[in-house]
Each structure stands twice: as structure tokens, then as C-alpha cells.
Amino acid sequence: MLVPVVSLIAGWFLSEMSKKSQISRERRALVGRALSNLLELHHQIRAVETVLQLLTSRFNLTTEAEAVVRQIIQQIIPENDEYVARYEEAVAQLSESDPITAFRLSTNAQIPRFITKLRTLSSLNGIQNDEMSFFEKQLKDLFVPHIENAIKELARLHGRATSRQVHAMLDSPREIPDEINVLIQKMQGDHQE
């Protein structure tokens, strides 16, 4: 009589553990998807600023020229709407199992859309490109730490190994790919001739 009861309890316990493990794997996948897309968004924001900073320092660009170069770089580097949409989708799915975390993470992807709207409004209202460029840089400097905090939170939720890798990635100095450096050096050589 005791064996069937113990078997039933053991079966129920194993079934519950299996369900919990499945939910945990699904949640980890959602967190990983959100993390990947937010990292890409962060990378794009930082790439524009890093390349612009490099060009400004190498060519002693004026504020007006910097604004023009910023617009050109933003045209070259693809828009991040795809990453934003995928991030928002992953956060929305995460909200089913962790609504508080999802709420905290939900606004981070809005930054590029907000800046795009500001660009549109500034051009409609006659605000100069150099003024908008300065304002946009200030906004990005203000918002990037919030994105980095969200990235760290997602990495922690994903796991210890991911958290260590993400912290190392965020703490490492920003590097320009060799191809970009070669191109800039060539441009600088052509500029000096």
C-alpha cells in the first residue's frame, strides 16, 4: 500500500521538476533573445559615436561638419528598428513569467525611436543640424548607461557565465575595426595632399 503512494508522489515531483525546468529554459531563451538584441542596439549607438569621435579628432571637424558627418554615418549604419522590434517582442514574452523585470526593461529600446522623432521635429522646426547633433550626443551619453544597466540585468538573469562575458565586453575599451582605421588613414592621407 505504501509503494503506490510513494510512486505517485515521486512521479508528481518529477513531473513538476520537469515543468519547472522547461519553464526555466524557455525564460532563459527569452532573456537571451532580449539580451542579444539590446547588445546589438547598444553596439550601434556606440559605433556611431566612436566613429564620429575618431573622425572629429583626426580631421579637426567643425561643429557643422560633425553634424553632416553624423548624418552620413547614420545613413551608412543600418537602422536598428529590427533589433528594437525583436527586443520588445522578447520582453513582452518575458512579461508573462516576470512582469516586474519586463516593465523595467521595456523602455530601453525606445531611445533610438525617440532620437529619430527628435531629428524629424528639429528639421521641421528649423533647428540647425549642428545644434541637433550636439543635443543627440548629450542624449546618447545620458541614455547609454541605462541601456548598459539593462544589459547587465539581462546577462545576470541569463546566467553567471553570460554575466561575466557581458561585463568584460562592456568594460573593454571601444575599438575601431582595422578596416575602418585603414580607410580613415587613407582618407587622412588624401586630405593632407
Q: What is the structure's pLDDT at 23?
A: 55
Residue 130 lies in a domain: yes
Q: How confident is the model at residue 2, as a pLDDT?
A: 76
What is the predicted pLDDT for the residue at 78?
63
pLDDT reported for residue 152? 94
With 70 as the cut, is the pLDDT of residue 49 above it? yes
In a domain, 1, yes or no: no
Is the distance from CB of 155 to CB of 133 less than 8 angstroms? no
Residue 181 falls within a domain, yes or no? Answer: yes
Is 139 among the domain residues? yes
Give 132-163 pLDDT, tens digit per residue: 777 788 888 888 898 899 999 999 989 999 99
pLDDT tens digits, one per residue of 57-85 = 878 888 788 878 877 777 777 666 777 88
- For residue 20, pLDDT beyond 70: no
Domain residue limits at 57: 28-192
pLDDT above 60 (res 178): yes
More confident residue, 4 or 145: 145
Between 1 and 182, whose confidence is greater?
182
pLDDT in tens, 90-114: 888 888 888 888 888 888 777 777 7
pLDDT score at 80: 65
Q: Which own/partner pairs from 46-52 qualify as long-range (CB within 8 Å, at least 24 positions apart)?
A: 46/144, 46/174, 47/77, 48/73, 48/74, 48/77, 49/137, 49/140, 50/174, 50/176, 51/176, 51/180
**Number of domains into which the chain is organized:** 1
Say if 8 falls within a structural domain.
no
In this predicted model, which residue has the larger pLDDT, 1 or 137?
137
In this predicted structure, the answer to whether residue 167 has a pLDDT above a threshold of 90 is yes
With respect to residue 22, please indicate whether it lies within any of the assigned structural domains.
no
Cβ atoms of 180 and 52 within 8 Å: the answer is no
Task: Give domain status of residue 119, yes or no.
Answer: yes
In a domain, 3, yes or no: no
pLDDT averaged over every residue in the chain: 80
